[in-house]
Structure 1
Amino acid sequence: MTHTPTHATLQHIANILNFKDNRKLLANTFDALAVDWDTVVMLASQHLMLPALYYQLKRKDLLTHIPPDLELYLEEISNINSNRNKILLKEAQEVSALFREASIDHVYIKGLAVIAHIAPKDIGARMVGDLDIVIAPHQLHEAFELLQKHGYTETIEFNYTTENFRHLPRQINPKKMGAIELHSEVLLYKYRFLIKVTDLLNNKLFTSGIHIPSEEDSIQIGIYTTQINDHGHLFGTLNLKPVFDCLVFGLQNKISFLHKIADVKQANSFLELLSIYFPEFKPNHTTKSSQIIKSYYYFKLDNPRLGRISQNTVYYLHELTERITLLYNNKSYRAHVLKNKLSHKRP
């Protein structure tokens, strides 16, 4: 077990985020001045976890045990995020009403699903970007056109024709806060068997005025989008945002489900890294790839400089491989690259 400052700080953050009743332990730690709060804020900010920290500290009645200026700072950020999330949820409710009226089968995923689940009390705990909506594939373009008719007239187009991509171009209403991404799928093409859209839509729940996935589906979306779409499994990273989502949807209390998803290597490595800070998430078996990823994760903690170099190397090699593959297989991308190169050529 590593005991680097970064590991210690991440453990402090994990202890605060934990839904266990650990108030006494945390109060004693805080009162003993054993926490580097500047580093906590820096790392929590990198993971977009500052509002979640504030809500958990408040829920555990620990705000009086942290520096007063930090309490004010966290409160201000959380209030701003709470107000933003209230607007986003209202916009999501309006769009959901449009889709229901048009009999368009849909479900909100990721951040919107989380804030709908925890609203209204803790609505500001989770930071949210776009409004991600999964649409029944045969109704995808109907939904896109309906949004266009209701003010979502601007789009952020792709630079080239995508093949088997999981969502349409992002739609923007200049008068609204949230951009919308309409998804026909959740995961990269190769892994779509892990989250089937038909099951996702059939299992959906209605809460806070919108449709959201079931708790188990929400957990899988949080894990697999991070591990597969964002390549967390490949890069050996642990993002605290899906960790918080797993806590919110109660994975710590769904032991049989935890063991079930641990059979998938991407979930297994996520749970193995997660168990460093939350032992209750330890999978009932560990794959060889998870052991390697965990060792690599420890290496990066123990050797920050070498860790950054190795992480960047892996990232750029992956990007290069992806681009070469795309260049070879996608005619539209080749044309885009050629056009871009010619447009930047000096006369």
Structure 2
Amino acid sequence: MANLATTYQHIANILSFETSNSKLEKTISDATFNWDTIVIEGSKQLVLPAIYCRLKTRQLLHLLPKDLTNYLEQITNINRARNIRILNQVHNISQILNQHNIDHVFLKGAALLASGCYKDNGERMVGDIDILVEKSEIFNAFEILKNSGYNKTFGFAYEKKDFRHLDRLISENELAAIELHTELLNKTHWPLLNMPTILNSKIRRNTIAISNKHYLSQHLILAWQLNDKGHYYNIISLKSIYDLIAIEVHKEQNLIYTLLNSKYGQSYLELAKCYFPEFSSIPTNNYMKYRIFLHKIKMSFKPLRIIINCIKQATIFISSRLYLVYTNRSYTKHIIKEKILNKTNLFNSY
């Protein structure tokens, strides 16, 4: 597949609420339409259930190969059942935290499910349950949840300084792990989101505390752009854009204006505008034109895309490890123990 942008555009046309049925039907009914690339990239982007639900709502499933329809339906049914259990889990966690007067809000996928913004709960794939907790109460909340059945933890092999969340809490009886946050972004970007403001402006949906649309959307965008390195690699997240469409961020002009005040919001919205008609009215500046130009070039040439990504991956890996060695003694001890001493023991065993 030479042009990845074409595949992304096909997926965006399926997910969009503004792409006409007639246009989409003409595209996917073509005998040369490549469903394999849709499945591959849709799986990578975690939107296969959303693709199925949108095609079902549009009454276009009859245009798919029968085995593909069955496959997508099975995945969506599994995801729907999983999300129902996760939503019940969110209610139980909420009840526990409320009983102990822990100030908190649910974030990202958990918040979106609780808000009821999807017509079908099978649409959104959810991993961990992310919760923002007031900083002074974070360790109390951690112990309360540990004593409530989430008695297994998973974290780093070394002390992680100033990380945005504590070790993951895991229960043998529940599907999703819990991540308790005191911050939502990596340390260098903490000033971009104010935690007390997010907590104080929370809203409730079916008794569940979630961040309001303004901060929910900001977090979805900045988490992708910064934590997941979307801005660094200049790549798109179809899942997070579909999330924004589901909560109708594109209709909130004041919110769009706020997002356009940062380069991270600008580059994100320009990519969204490139693929989704919902964002077509967003104004473009020279910086945004520059970002989309580079994106299109990279998406059009696979060898170039591989080279650029490899260089960027190597650069960020080396720089981040050097920074850890310089600033984190625990990490340095871990490296000495795991990499050097283990190799020495292995050598001596021969």
| TM-score exceeds 0.5 | yes
In structure 1, how many angstroms separate the alpha carbons of the residues matched to 2:157 and 2:286?
39
1:275 to 273, 280, 283: 273
Deviations 1:161-199 (A, max 9, x none): 122111000011111111111001101112222221112
Match of 2:120? 122
1:266 paired with 2:283, answer no
Contact 1:106–1:135, Cα closer than 8 Å, also in 2:
yes
Q: Secondary structure of the residue that 1:344 maps to in structure 2? A: helix
Match of 1:173? 171
Match of 1:342? 341
Report which stretch shifted further, 26-35 or 50-59.
26-35
Q: In the TM superposition, what is the alpha-carbon distance from 1:5 to its structure 2 partner?
A: 4.2
Letter in 2 for 1:102: H
Q: In the TM superposition, what is the alpha-carbon distance from 1:118 to its structure 2 partner?
A: 3.0
In structure 1, how many angstroms separate the alpha carbons of the residues matched to 2:104 and 2:124?
22
Q: In the TM superposition, what is the alpha-carbon distance from 1:80 to its structure 2 partner?
A: 0.2
* Equivalence map 1:1-347=2 (5 Å): 5-20=3-18, 22-33=20-31, 35-118=33-116, 121-281=119-279, 283-286=282-285, 288=287, 290-340=288-338, 341-345=340-344, 346-347=347-348
Q: In the TM superposition, what is the alpha-carbon distance from 1:321 to its structure 2 partner?
A: 0.5
Mark the runs of 5 or more structure 1 residues left unpaired by the alignment: none
Deviations 1:208-228 (A, max 9, x none): 442221122111111000101
Letter in 1 for 2:343: H
Deviations 1:120-154 (A, max 9, x none): 74111011111111101111011000011111111
Contact 2:81–2:122, Cα closer than 8 Å, also in 1:
yes
Q: In the TM superposition, what is the alpha-carbon distance from 1:296 to its structure 2 partner?
A: 2.5
In structure 2, how many angstroms separate the alpha carbons of the residues matched to 1:5 and 1:189?
36
Report which stretch shifted further, 150-159 or 26-35.
26-35
Q: In the TM superposition, what is the alpha-carbon distance from 1:308 to its structure 2 partner?
A: 0.9
Deviations 1:272-306 (A, max 9, x none): 11211124425424353x44432322222221022
Letter in 1 for 2:260: A
Letter in 1 for 2:341: L
Q: In the TM superposition, what is the alpha-carbon distance from 1:119 to its structure 2 partner?
A: 6.4
Contact 1:268–1:287, Cα closer than 8 Å, also in 2:
no
Contact 2:325–2:331, Cα closer than 8 Å, also in 1:
yes
In structure 2, how many angstroms separate the alpha carbons of the residues matched to 1:174 and 1:19?
39
Report which stretch shifted further, 180-189 or 337-346.
337-346
Report which stretch shifted further, 98-107 or 207-216.
207-216
Deviations 1:234-253 (A, max 9, x none): 11111212111111111221
Counterparts in 2 of 1:247 and 1:165: CA distance versus 1, 3 Å: same
Report which stretch shifted further, 322-331 or 25-34.
25-34
Report which stretch shifted further, 16-25 or 213-222.
16-25
In structure 1, how many angstroms separate the alpha carbons of the residues matched to 2:44 and 2:283?
30
Letter in 2 for 1:272: E
In structure 2, how many angstroms separate the alpha carbons of the residues matched to 1:120 and 1:246?
11
In structure 2, how many angstroms separate the alpha carbons of the residues matched to 1:34 and 1:200?
48
Contact 1:47–1:241, Cα closer than 8 Å, also in 2:
yes
Q: Secondary structure of the residue that 1:316 maps to in structure 2? A: helix
Q: In the TM superposition, what is the alpha-carbon distance from 1:206 to its structure 2 partner?
A: 1.6
In structure 1, how many angstroms separate the alpha carbons of the residues matched to 2:290 and 2:118?
41
Q: In the TM superposition, what is the alpha-carbon distance from 1:336 to its structure 2 partner?
A: 1.0
Report which stretch shifted further, 57-66 or 131-140.
57-66
Counterparts in 2 of 1:120 and 1:253: CA distance versus 1, 3 Å: closer
Counterparts in 2 of 1:141 and 1:274: CA distance versus 1, 3 Å: same
In structure 2, how many angstroms separate the alpha carbons of the residues matched to 1:5 and 1:328?
41
In structure 2, how many angstroms separate the alpha carbons of the residues matched to 1:256 and 1:61?
35
Once the two structures are aligned, what percentage of the paired residues are identical?
Answer: 34
Q: In the TM superposition, what is the alpha-carbon distance from 1:32 to its structure 2 partner?
A: 3.6
Contact 2:50–2:123, Cα closer than 8 Å, also in 1:
yes
Q: In the TM superposition, what is the alpha-carbon distance from 1:260 to its structure 2 partner?
A: 2.1
In structure 2, how many angstroms separate the alpha carbons of the residues matched to 1:91 and 1:43?
30
Q: In the TM superposition, what is the alpha-carbon distance from 1:105 to its structure 2 partner?
A: 0.9
In structure 2, how many angstroms separate the alpha carbons of the residues matched to 1:293 and 1:178?
36
Counterparts in 2 of 1:203 and 1:34: CA distance versus 1, 3 Å: farther
| TM-score of the aligned structures, taking structure 2 as reference length | 0.93
Contact 1:262–1:285, Cα closer than 8 Å, also in 2:
no
Q: In the TM superposition, what is the alpha-carbon distance from 1:326 to its structure 2 partner?
A: 1.1
Size of the aligned set, in residue pairs, is 344
Mark the runs of 5 or more structure 2 residues left unpaired by the alignment: none
Counterparts in 2 of 1:88 and 1:280: CA distance versus 1, 3 Å: closer
Greater relative contact order (CA < 8 Å, ≥ 6 in sequence):
2
Counterparts in 2 of 1:182 and 1:65: CA distance versus 1, 3 Å: same
In structure 1, how many angstroms separate the alpha carbons of the residues matched to 2:34 and 2:246?
26
